[in-house]
């Protein structure tokens, strides 16, 4: 199939279900943006691929989060998987399972977010930078001493889970089991999830919730110096979080705190390995690490899409949008929009076209953006300081996921400086 001969719906199916699209969705993103930038898909969902359009919808509070999931969003979805998804959503509502801010609208969203946001301000993150640096140096030193290995696991997972695990208050011996548990649980938010993915996600989600139920009970009995205890103690003019809410927020912070940052580190290293001249430039001038991390976020974003639903009759670029109609903002496509980023397919660590769309926009703008950037900067800074060379030592294989995009592993060999 040549690109020119396919329809926008076929391009979407390629992005979510074909090996080529999962490996590199960029040509399909460009096709969508050129042929149908506001694409009314056959499924009823609207797909946006321009930077400005994505930003506009994400900042427009007529579009919010919805509990509906049983209808297809992307063409060629498996109807059985959609039925399982709807059953899972209905069960969560029937069980009155508390939702985290990620799935809430104002005023519930505002309240929950404001109760934890002070832990993630730029100032607070700068206070943490020294300990993030020491951790980054330690994990990189151990990696270099072994001559390399799977950078995604040994550094990409190990550093962020230590940072967020310590902040939230998850005991260190428990960190390793969460890599596969959170990965399985997060598969449920992929629009292309299969029946097996959804069932595994449900099981993993139950296990994670049970774990945090126990941890909340422990911290209630014996508070510690961590976010979980702070959330339990919060009393904002009589406004408190229920235990269920604390579990939902702690789980979100913990999961969002490493799953995405792991992929920033993996995708970022993948980008450097595929663009050796940029890697050389970075190794020659360490001060480029800040713009390099933003370019890694843009070029191969760890989050490729966001979904909103019209909460009231709305319009999009002059066209009506029905209540409940879904709008998918393709953040990965926005990041390659030539009207916002010069020569967008070029990986350029000195780029200064402004921040990428990778942390979204509006009221759900990533709470951990400062933290994630600091972690990326410290990891790549430590790699520059400690490694004379980094070379690919095996294939770079993509996970078959589009919302949370990453590699299965990043095998490299390294030599010490």
Query: Which parts of this chain interact with ligand HEM (CB under 6 A)?
Result: 101-102, 113, 164, 252-253, 256-257, 260-261, 264, 302-303, 306, 358-360, 364, 366-368, 371-372
**What is the closest distance, in whole angstroms, from the C-beta atom of residue 367 to ligand HEM in the complex?**
4
Pick the closest to residue 99 from 233, 209, 194 (CA basis): 209
CB of 236 to ligand HEM, least distance (A): 17
Q: Report the distance separating Cα 69 and Cα 82, nearest Å.
A: 7
Maximum pairwise Cα distance, the chain: 64
CB atoms under 10 Å from CB of 284, counted, come to 9
Alpha helices in 59-121 (DSSP H): 79-94, 108-116
Provide the minimum distance between the beta carbon of 303 and ligand HEM in the complex, in angstroms, as a whole number: 4
Which string of b and e fits 292-323 if b means at least 16 CB within 10 Å? bbbbbbbbbbbbbbbbbbbbeebebeeeebee
CB of 10 to ligand HEM, least distance (A): 26
Residue closer to ligand HEM by CB (options 31, 263) is: 263
CA–chain centroid gap for 389, Å, is: 29
Nearest distance from residue 221's CB to ligand HEM, in Å?
Answer: 25
Pick the closer one to ligand HEM by CB: 144 or 297.
Answer: 297
Q: Which CB, 197 or 375, lies closer to ligand HEM?
A: 375
Query: Of the two residues 252 and 410, which places its CB atom closer to ligand HEM in the complex?
Result: 252
Q: How far is the CB of 113 from ligand HEM (least distance, A)?
A: 5
Closer to ligand HEM by Cβ: residue 31 or 219: 219
C-beta neighbour count of 387 within 10 angstroms: 18
CA 8/CA 412 separation, integer angstroms: 37
Sign of CA dihedral 392, 397, 401, 402: positive
Q: Which residues contact 337 (CB under 8 A, 6 or more apart)?
A: 33, 49, 50, 51, 52, 344
> Nearest residue to ligand HEM, using CB?
368
Complex with ligand HEM: residue 201 or 403, whichever CB lies closer: 403
Q: What is the CA radius of gyration of the chain?
A: 21
User: Residue 101 or 409: which CB sits closer to ligand HEM?
Assistant: 101
Shortest CB 101 distance to ligand HEM, Å? 4
What is the C-alpha separation between 101 and 249, in angstroms, rounded?
A: 7
- Please give the structure tokens belonging to residue 4: 């020119």
Least distance between ligand HEM and beta carbon 150 (Å): 19
Q: With respect to ligand HEM, which residue has the nearer C-beta, 105 or 413?
A: 105
* Cβ neighbourhood burial of 151 (10 Å; 0-12, 13-18, 19+): buried
Indicate the pairing of strand 314-316 with strand 319-321.
antiparallel
User: Judged by CB, which is closer to ligand HEM: 139, or 264?
Assistant: 264
Minimum distance from CB of 374 to ligand HEM (Å)? 9
Do residues 227 and 167 lie in contact, with contact meaning Cβ atoms separated by under 8 Å?
Answer: yes
Q: How far is the CB of 158 from ligand HEM (least distance, A)?
A: 14
CA distances to 108, 201, 204, 251 from 209, rounded to whole Å, are: 20, 12, 9, 7
Minimum CB distance to ligand HEM smaller for 8 or for 268 = 268
């Amino acid at each position: 199939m040549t690109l020119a001969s396919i329809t926008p719906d076929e391009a979407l199916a390629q992005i979510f279900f074909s090996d080529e699209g999962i490996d590199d969705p960029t040509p399909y993103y460009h096709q969508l943006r050129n042929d149908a930038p506001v694409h009314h898909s056959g499924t009823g969902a609207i797909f946006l691929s321009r930077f400005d359009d994505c930003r506009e919808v994400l900042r427009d509070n007529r579009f919010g989060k919805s509990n509906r999931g049983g209808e297809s969003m992307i063409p060629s979805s498996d109807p059985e998987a959609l039925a399982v998804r709807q059953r899972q959503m209905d069960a969560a509502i029937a069980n009155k399972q508390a939702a985290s801010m990620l799935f809430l609208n104002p005023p519930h969203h505002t309240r929950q977010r404001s109760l934890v946001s002070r832990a993630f301000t730029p100032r607070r993150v700068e206070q943490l930078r020294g300990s993030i640096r020491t951790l980054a140096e330690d994990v990189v030193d151990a990696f270099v001493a072994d001559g390399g290995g799977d950078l995604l696991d040994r550094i990409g997972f190990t550093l962020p889970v230590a940072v967020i695990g310590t902040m939230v208050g998850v005991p260190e011996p428990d960190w390793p089991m969460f890599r596969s548990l959170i990965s399985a649980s997060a598969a449920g938010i992929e629009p292309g999830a299969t029946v097996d993915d959804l069932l595994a996600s449900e099981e993993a989600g139950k296990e994670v919730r049970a774990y945090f139920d126990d941890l909340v009970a422990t911290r209630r009995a014996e508070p510690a110096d961590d976010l979980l205890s702070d959330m339990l103690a919060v009393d904002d003019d009589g406004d408190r979080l229920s235990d269920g809410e604390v579990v939902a927020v702690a789980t979100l912070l913990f999961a969002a705190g490493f799953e995405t940052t792991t992929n920033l580190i993996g995708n970022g290293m993948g980008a450097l390995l595929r663009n050796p001249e940029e890697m050389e430039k970075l190794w020659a001038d360490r001060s480029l690490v800040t713009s390099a991390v933003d370019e890694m976020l843009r070029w191969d974003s760890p989050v490729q899409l966001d979904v909103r639903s019209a909460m009231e009759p709305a319009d999009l670029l002059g066209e009506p949008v029905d209540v409940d109609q879904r709008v998918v903002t393709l953040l990965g496509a926005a990041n390659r929009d030539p009207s916002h980023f010069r020569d967008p397919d070029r990986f350029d660590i000195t780029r200064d076209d402004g921040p990428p769309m990778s942390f979204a926009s509006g009221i759900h703008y990533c709470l951990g953006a400062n933290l994630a950037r600091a972690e990326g900067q410290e990891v790549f800074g430590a790699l520059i300081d400690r490694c004379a060379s980094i070379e690919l030592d095996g294939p770079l294989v993509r996970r078959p996921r589009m919302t949370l995009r990453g590699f299965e592993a990043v095998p490299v060999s390294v030599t010490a400086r």
